[in-house]
């Protein structure tokens, strides 16, 4: 893929662009909004990684102009602005996904590939704002969870774990995989923080329901078991 990274923090810009190049992508970078605008309008990109707080021209202004020009290039916003209103503003202007800093590169890469796949399948960008699976609705903008008519109150990492599992339904996830994407550091076989987090999520999500969504696969990890995948 050919990707444009518009980010004024040179350390983050280098981290993202280097990681994407190591995956085999062609990456162009811009450090200001005006530079990013010129490159975006003058080139054909498969995706754009866009900061919001940029010198000269804001990221939201860049996004708004692109969408007004009917440019539907998939956009992943990467910003320190994590308030609900900021996420809503970005998604309503046409961003395909929104990540807050600090972040895990592996998650950024996975989300970037996901929005490009959705664009290739003709799926509306708005689908990035929520996930519904086996009676569970995950609102990625407002960070809210419903199972049927029941509201599920989750802490930040519980929500991130559920999001990760619902994006990989019926797929066993190892503890190291979960640890890397939720905490962003290498797996320590002596730690039990993944088990504790899964236990907390399971207690909140499955309590009072016959079909248990969060399953333990001994020696393997954990899985979000959908109704369709139940055996």
Q: Is 130 left (phi over 0), alpha (psi -120 to 50) or beta?
A: beta
Q: What is the pLDDT of residue 122?
A: 42
Q: What is the pLDDT of residue 48?
A: 95
Spell out the domains of the chain, with CATH numbers in brackets.
Answer: 2-123 (3.40.50.2300), 156-224 (1.10.10.10)
Q: b/e string for 192-224 if b means 16 or more Cβ within 10 A?
A: eebeebbeebbebbbeeeeeebbbeeeeebbbb
Asked if residue 224 lies in contact with residue 165, where contact means CB atoms within 8 angstroms, the answer is yes
| Cis bond upstream, residue 102 (ω within 30) | yes
The model's pLDDT over 4-63, given as tens digits with 9 standing for 90+, comes to 999 999 999 999 999 899 888 889 999 999 999 999 987 788 899 999 999 999 999 999
The model's pLDDT over 110-150, given as tens digits with 9 standing for 90+, comes to 888 888 887 764 433 334 467 889 999 988 777 899 999 99
Q: What is the pLDDT of residue 187?
A: 52
Identify any residues that bridge with 150 across adjacent strands, giving them in sequence order: 147
The model's pLDDT over 146-195, given as tens digits with 9 standing for 90+, comes to 999 999 999 888 988 998 899 888 989 998 888 877 775 555 556 788 99
Secondary structure element (H or E) that encloses residue 222, with its range = strand 221-224
Q: What is the pLDDT of residue 76?
A: 94
Q: Is the pLDDT of residue 231 over 60?
A: no
- Percentages helix, strand, coil for the chain (3-state, rounded to 5) are 40, 20, 40
Distance CA 103, CA 12 (A): 10
Q: What is the pLDDT of residue 24?
A: 85
pTM over 0.85: no
């Amino acid at each position: 893929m050919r990707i444009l990274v518009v980010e004024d923090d040179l350390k983050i810009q280098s981290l993202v662009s280097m990681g994407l190049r190591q995956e085999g992508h062609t990456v162009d970078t811009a450090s200001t909004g005006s530079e990013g605008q010129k490159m975006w309008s003058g080139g054909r990109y498969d995706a754009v990684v866009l900061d919001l707080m940029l010198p000269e021209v804001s990221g939201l202004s860049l996004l708004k102009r692109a969408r007004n020009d009917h440019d539907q290039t998939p956009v992943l916003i990467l910003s320190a602005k994590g308030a609900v209103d900021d996420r809503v503003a970005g998604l309503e202007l046409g961003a395909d996904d929104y990540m807050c800093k600090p972040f895990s590169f592996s998650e950024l890469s996975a989300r970037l590939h996901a929005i490009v796949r959705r664009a290739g399948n003709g799926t509306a960008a708005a689908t990035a704002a929520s996930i519904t699976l086996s009676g569970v609705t995950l609102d990625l903008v407002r960070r809210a969870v419903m199972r049927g008519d029941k509201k599920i109150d989750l802490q930040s990492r519980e929500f991130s774990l559920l999001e990760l599992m619902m994006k990989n339904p019926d797929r066993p996830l190892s503890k190291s995989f979960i640890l890397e994407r939720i905490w962003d550091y290498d797996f320590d076989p002596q730690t039990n923080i993944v088990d504790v987090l899964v236990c907390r999520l399971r207690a909140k999500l499955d309590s009072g329901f016959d079909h248990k969504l969060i399953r333990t696969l001994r020696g393997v990890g954990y899985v979000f078991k959908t109704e369709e995948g139940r055996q």
